[in-house]
Amino acid sequence: MTGNQKLQAGDAPGFAIEGVRLPAPPIDAGLYIVATPIGNLGDVTLRALRTIAAADVAVCEDSRVSRVLLDRYGIARGVTTYHEHNAAEQRPKLLAALAEGKSVALMSDAGTPLLSDPGYRLVLEAAAAGHPVFPVPGASALLAGLVTAGLPTDAFFFAGFLPPKEVARRKRLAALAKVPGTLIFYESPHRLGAALADMASTLGDRPAVMARELTKAFETVRRGTLVSLAAEFAGAAPKGEIVVLVGPPSEEVPEAEAVDALLLRLLEQGTVRSAADEAAAQTGWPRRDLYQRALALKDGRDAPGD
């Protein structure tokens, strides 16, 4: 039997790899958080396959997506959908199944559940009710991007998706500007150029990486700086899943002349208030001092070189 062949009703739970049928022994009651491949189906773990096949209840975001993985490995079973639109309705049912002593396997469409995916409240309420929660680790786009980027890995911050609107996006970036580690974002293809431009303006010209379609046939990794990547993807909308990684802020304190030059550049793009806000985010200088300095520069007083 191959992984693509379906089982007959009544067959024991199991899965198939390259024509070899393997059993899936019963598992303990509890909630299993099961990571699935982000692209290459060969990245699934044996434990994930056993858990999905053996669980009393298997939960996924989109049954059409999960069915591709199940069919590949010969797992013939029903699945229940759990996503942002039906979570409030489905969560009590899953908690009831756990209360009955059943095993529930929660899968993502791709990668690790809960990371920009539904499942947080289910885990929270399951744990609060005393049910065991078991991680079944595996693929994750944010970690795949991090290890291929060539940016510092000793400290990093996963920020998920940025707000779609420019003002809110810049405000969020300003709040992240001083995080002492690599920043990791997911981004939509049609917003990539605008997001990179806002990152360059708000965070400064830091080293950065754009990783697209990781583990898939058209995997692409672009390394550079935020300014160079913003220019490369201005007006572009590359297809696929995108991870953007930004290096940590420089530990060097900018000199006064460099800060003045930054303020002048920001004043060309916006108001005194916005220039002070962004300069504070990029330099770490007090916003009040930068505001007064920006006012002086805007009025033409004490310009650099005077």
The percentage of residues in the chain with a pLDDT greater than 70, rounded to a whole number, is 93
Predicted local distance difference test score (pLDDT) of residue 89? 96
What pLDDT band is residue 5 in, cutting at 50, 70 and 90? very low
When pLDDT is cut at 50, 70 and 90, the band that residue 299 belongs to is confident
Q: Which residues pair with 187 in a beta bridge?
A: 242
Tell me: domain 14-139, CATH 3.40.1010.10, correct? yes
* pTM (2 d.p.): 0.79
Distance CA 169, CA 185 (A): 12
Instruction: Evaluate if residue 210 carries a pLDDT over 60.
Output: yes
pLDDT digit string, tens, across residues 39-64: 999 999 999 999 999 999 999 999 99
CATH topology of domain 142-246: 3.30.950
pLDDT at 257 over 90: no
Residues 6+ apart with CB under 8 A from 305: none
> Average model confidence (pLDDT) for the chain?
91
Q: Which residues pair with 30 in a beta bridge?
A: 103
Residue pair 286/279 in contact by the 8 Å Cβ criterion: no
| Cα gap 10→284, rounded to integer Å | 65
CA distance 272 to 291: 7
Average pLDDT value for residue range 118-129: 96
Q: How confident is the model at residue 66 (pLDDT cuts 50, 70, 90)?
A: very high
- Contact, 282 vs 203, CB < 8 A? yes
Angle made by CA atoms 158, 160, 162, in degrees to the nearest 5: 125
CA–CA gap between residue 100 and residue 119 (Å, rounded): 20
Pick left, alpha or beta for residue 143 (phi over 0 → left; psi -120 to 50 → alpha; otherwise beta).
alpha
Is there a common fold for 14-139 and 142-246?
Answer: no
pLDDT of residue 223: 96
CA 220, 225, 231, 234 torsion-angle sign: positive
Q: Where are the domains of the chain?
A: 14-139, 142-246, 256-298
Average pLDDT over residues 227-240: 92
- 170 versus 12: the higher-pLDDT residue is 170
In this prediction, residue 113 carries a pLDDT of 95
Give the H/E segment covering residue 69: helix 63-72
What is residue 131's predicted lDDT score, i.e. its pLDDT? 98
